[in-house]
Structure 1
């Protein structure tokens, strides 16, 4: 086994990763769940009404998808910055790898 010590986390990569995770979470919350709720409630009615209701539900929550992405990116940058400070103070994290 190799012993590896993590002493620094790249802020931009963590921010980008958590920003994309935020977009994925926002898409589930803002796009998929409202569509499933409409289908499950049987509130679609005819085809034209169903398309209108689904498109209204999806387009109403696009802002939350963007907000989740921005929040994830900012949160990831702050978290990585704090983690780097703590890693410097504790002299890193030791991980055993194969």
Structure 2
């Protein structure tokens, strides 16, 4: 079953796993040690992340290492971009309004 990237990031544990391996690939045991849940539960989260294409699992000897695939997260960035522009515009309007209020207050 191929899952979508939004399904993967919907869960806080999966977001934490992404953050853990964002800078360095880690083996499954090292990842599991960071959480207060069973190894099978972590393995299920890893499986979902892998099915979504966010992580790739590489076999190195007897160990399996998880490595981030950041290109897949571009879908999230692309989806968020219009909202970012909208809120930047609103914050700029607020900054302008506050500047006007401050200027008027200083003139009094």
TM-score, structure 2 normalization: 0.34
Give the structure with the higher percent helix.
Answer: 1
Alignment TM-score, normalising by the size of structure 1:
0.37
